[in-house]
Amino acid sequence: MHNPLDHAARVLAETDPVRRFHAAEAAAEAAAAPYKQAADDALAELIAQHGGNRAAAARELGKTRQALYMREKRDAEKSSSVAAAEQVQPARRFDSPEEAEDALRDWALSHQEVTDRLDVLLLGALAAGVDPVAISEAGVVGLDMLRRIRPAGNIVVSQLDEYGPEIDDFARAVHARATALRAAAISTAKRAAADIWRHAAREIARNAAPVALMPDHGLRKEDFGTIDEFIEAVVTRKPSKEEEAEDAKPLAPSASAGPDAYLAATYLAFRREATRGPLGSERTPEEVAVGEAVQAAFGELADAILHLRTTGQVPPALLTEAS
């Protein structure tokens, strides 16, 4: 059985006010349900004691007969609407509560990705000078959400040019860092950290600097006069079957808005992973070490992306390792 106090602590610890509001409302309704049922049972017993005379029962409760009638009417309407909803609303089938909980967690993660991309878009619109009232009137979000996401002070705007060489070099530098970490890994924790860097390098190359790692496929950027000529060669080159299968996969949604939109949303996701708080107590020392190494890797990547966006330059430490 779940401890109500533990559940309340999780609700109050939720940092997003929208999710905290809905979670608290749902928790309050669930907590009130037993008392509501007890009150209904007591009322039914009192009416029975008065031989079904609701007016007499109402007087004993210190209420009017009309108040009692309205209460019963509201309950009946609510029960009727719930019953109707149950008849027409389809439900997904789960083989176990654990499978359903996994699906809810998956939805929460995808919802967070959408929220990250929306936050980046809204802050960019505010930084570009769009009136918050105009954003609200456009039906995107309300003013209360704009006040929630806007930090104190200035909004950080990227110094990067779209598809500039810095992004290309950044992807290559992250890839070099991942390779170096993997080669030097002597423990499960270090290998896990190297895997985070390798995954980040692949996603950044695909979504922010699509040509950064193309030398692996036989084309070298150095053989072309300009980056535009190189991109043209990459686009017109006939891909292999493996590449066609890879290209069929959808890009990250924020990538379609440009590399910086992708990097900004990715920074939020990496920073969140790096600051999730203490790990669970029911873990082995090795699992704790792996978790800490993964969190540290996400933190280092977030710092690197922040440096790239705010300065327009690849972090010197990464450039040194990539050279």
pLDDT at position 226 is 61
pLDDT at position 102 is 85
CB distance 268 to 149 below 8 Å = no
Average pLDDT, the chain: 76
Nearest residue to 212 via CA among 68, 314, 79: 314
pLDDT at position 296 is 92
CB atoms within 10 A of CB 207: 21
pLDDT at position 299 is 92
pLDDT at position 250 is 44
Please report, for the chain, how many H helices and E strands are present, in that order. Answer: 14, 0
Task: Please list the ranges in the chain whose pLDDT falls under 70.
Answer: 1-11, 79-88, 150-153, 162-163, 210-257, 277-282, 320-323
The torsion angle over the Cα atoms of residues 162, 168, 171 and 175, rounded to 10 degrees, is 170
User: Which H helix or E strand runs over 104?
Assistant: helix 97-127
Long-range contacts of 14-19 (CB under 8 A, 24+ apart): 16/115, 17/148, 18/145
Q: Tabulate helix, strand, coil % of the chain (nearest 5).
A: 75, 0, 25
Q: What is the pTM of this model?
A: 0.58
Taking only the tens place, the pLDDT of each residue in 87-112 is: 667 788 888 888 888 888 888 877 88
